[in-house]
Structures are given as structure tokens and as C-alpha cells.
Chains A and B, each alone.
Chain A
Amino acid sequence: MNGDALRVELGRRYRFVASHRLHSQRLTEEENYRVFGKCNNPYGHGHNYVLEVSLSGRIDPATGMIANLADLDAFVERHVLEEFDHRSLNEDVAAFRHKVPTTENLCIEIFHRLKHFPHAQLELVRIQETGNNSFEYAGNTEGDRL
């Protein structure tokens, strides 16, 4: 069997905890409350987020790896976890000063931060906001793929 006809992706999960408030500057107070409900509480609330990333690439025959986990972990730590973990997404992450920090937008923001990982191709960012909600972004908007 020809192994090259197969595609292998590496998947890795990370965890961070953060608070957010869903509030759009384009909506009135009343509309915000109607749209976002209890997520609009001005004091915010938090989640234990689970971030899952999938990467594709050639398996290096010398190491058996698509990417060295130490490199990937350090990259995710530096570009995402350091800035997001134990923070307020609204107050502490510049991208969400004027954008609602829904988990949809969080997926897109994290995809943009991780797509420059030099050792493999980022395929997918999946974020579990709670055990019952998860969101995925594969960079399918124009210009997101390398």
C-alpha cells in the first residue's frame, strides 16, 4: 500500500480559563439584552475553554512526527495561552475591544494567531466553550489559508 496516498493530521488540546461579556457596540442596551440574554451581564462570566488544533504535514522519517510537540506547545503558549488564560477577553485582548468575544470570533482570532506556525500546516481550530457547545474554524474565509 502506498503510504503517501494517506494524509495524517496531528491533533492537540489545550485548556484556558477566561471571562467574557457578549455586548455589541452597534446595538442599544435593550437590543443587547434581547440578543445576548444573561451573557450580556455587565460584570461578565467565564468558561473553561478547551482549544483543539489540527495540523497536517509530512511525517519526518527521522522523528516520526509531523511537528515536535515541544515546538507546537511553545508556539501556542506564546501566541494564545499567555494572553488568554486567566484573563478577560473583552478587556485584555485587543482584538475584542471592538468585536464581540463569542466563541465563533475566538476561533477565527486563534486561527489567525496560529496559522503562522512554521513547522506544519494549520488545518482546524476547534473550541469547546462548555461540554455542550463547540465551534470550529478551518480558515475557509478568503485569505486565511497560507
Chain B
Amino acid sequence: MRGRVTARAPVKASDTLHFALRAATAYPLRTTLMMLAMAIGVAAVVVLTALGEGARRYVINEFSALGSNLVIVLPGRSQTGGFSPINAITNTPRDLTLEDAQALARLPMVKRTAPIAVGTSEAVWRGRLRDVTIVGTTPDYARMRRLEIAQGRFLPEEAPHAAVAVIGAKLQSELFGAEPAVGQILRLGDRRVRVVGVLAPFGQGLGMNVDEIVIIPAAVAQAMFNSNTLFRILIEASEREALGAAKTAAEALLKMRHDGEEDVTVITQDAVLTTFDRILSALTYGVAAIAAVSLAVAGILVMNVMLVAVTQRTAEIGLLKALGAESRTIRRAFLAEAALLSLVGAVAGFLLGEMGAWALRSFLPMLPAQAPIWAIVASLFTALATGLTFGMLPARRAAQLDPVTALMRH
């Protein structure tokens, strides 16, 4: 007999909402529990995605510290697809040399290059001794890495073989204390260098703490380590658009210089950034999904609580039917109640989550924890959808109650 064509249920939406609101506020404990479950779910999504997004931004900031239009050359081939045993035996990779760096600098789309030789040694001044990382490079390095000089100057352009050094801020305070470092003679291993400059505090960058390094001319470093090879060559393209061309040209040039062997790896900073970005975004999605599980749990709680509500209010449902409420009116009233509780719970959870993200930012200032908009929208939407979905069964059960039996229950 059901399903005949009838007029729209005449109850106004505002009345349904008001009725649901009165019902929700009439059972404060039940309402609070349900909203709490929803709030925890949404807060979990907000905090966890904020954390993931914070980590992503942290890594990207670290890479941006490298400077933008950079191409990095590494010795050895790490990106070739095929590996043949014959290659492994015969292919002895040639070193990256200072001459390679100079040749690269002459390429048309290259603005400048900086060779990097890295080693460790001990630095001694007036009996104070400290193990340090030594970076051998050229004056362009400061411009490419955007290093700032606090005292003195950077490596001199005019004397690539001078025994001079520029030291990090932390090293300066640890080794020299309050005394001026510029002009002092520092012993590095068995060599003596004159300190010509001190870097401004910089912090961590690409796996090195710049505050604790000693920068000396590349030629001096190679002589010190008794090695011709370079750790990296940094290439700065003339503009961002030339990055790809610079990379291709660098690869071709080095292949030619290395007797036709592709024995270096050339990467752009973009590629590194994109990879990290992808990994960390995936991580953020992952934790969002895990947090969403708690939303599903909240949904099941919503269903249980609403089922209890239907049982509690059976007589009331019977009465509404006797007063002429159609099934859909009752279904809507219960759905509205579930939606209302979910939505208020979700908004509370959003505020809670934002507070959590704020606390994270306060305690870990380096980590810019901020939930992405998509996560906030998705969690609010999911909460509402969950409430409605899990509210469906109780609402339908209420709507289908037989009025005579329902009225006898009180």
C-alpha cells in the first residue's frame, strides 16, 4: 500500500531542525558523548595532517635554502636503468675535477658553478682542538648557497690557492670565544690557514651544519686531502627556465670530458624537491586515512546512540504518528538530529585540532604544522556524511515503527 503519489510532507525544515535540536539538548550526556566521538575523529585528522604538512614544508624549506636554480653533479652513475656485470668490472668512474667545474661554468646557460670537496680534519687554535668538516670550494659558493658574512670576507676571488679560511658561526664561538677570529692563524691538520671571515649563523642545510664548517679554497682542500676528486659540483642556471637545458648540457659536456662515459649523475633541485614532496604528501594522506578510521568509529557510535534514542522515544514516535506525522517526517527528524550532532561535534573537533596544531607550532617552531584546507574540508564533510549514513538505519527504524505498538510503550 505504500509508495502512492502524495503531496510533499508539509513539515517545514526549520521545524524539523528545531525539533531535532530540542531532542538533542534534552539528553545532554548522550549528546555530549556522541559529539565527543565525532570531535576526536575530526581533531585527529586535523592534527595528524597538520603534522604531515608541517614535515613537508620543513623539508621543502630546507631545500629552498640551497638556492633555487641549482643543478647538482655527483660522481658515479646512480640513475641508469640497466646494470651489466661487465660494466661493473670495467667501468671505473672518473673523478669529478676542478677542471670539470671550470668547463661547466663556460656553458652558455650556466651562470656560475661551485666545486665542493669535503673532508674532515681537526682544527687547532691555541691548544683548543675540535674536529671539523672542511668544505673546499670557490668564492661563487657563497652566492649560490646565499651565505652571509658576519665578519671579514669570503674566500678571495684573486687568490684561488691562498691558505685562507672562512669559519662557521658556532665554530668561531667555540674555538675563539670572545676574541676576534679574523686575522688569526688556524691549524687544520698539518696546514696553517688564516681566518679571513666568519659566516653569519645559518643552521642546518643539506645534511651539513653550516655553522660548524671551515670553508677553504678548493685547490687548498684537494692538496690537504691529497685527492683530485670533488664531492659535488653545484651549477646555477642563468634562469629557472634554463634548468633543464643546463642539466642536459652539463651531462653532455661531462660525457665528452670523461671519454664518452656517463659516469656522473646530474640532478636538479626540482627533482629532489618533487620526490620529497611526493613522499611527504603520501605520508600526509596516509595519516589522514588512519585518522579517518576514528571517524568511522565515531559513526558507529552515532548509530548506536541513535538506536538507543529510537528505543527511548518509541512512545513519542507513536504519538507523532497518531498526530499525523508521515514516515518521512519522522525519518527526517532523526536524521536531522544525527546530522546536527555530527556537525557540532565536527566543528568542535576542528577547533580542538586547530588548537593542537597551534600547540605543535609553539613547541616545534621549525615545523610549520598547519592542517591543509583539503584535510579540514574532507574531515568536516566526512563527519557529516558519517553521521547521516549511520543515522540512516536508526531513522528508518523509527519511521517504520508500528504506531499502535509504539504508543503502548512508555
A, B co-complexed? no
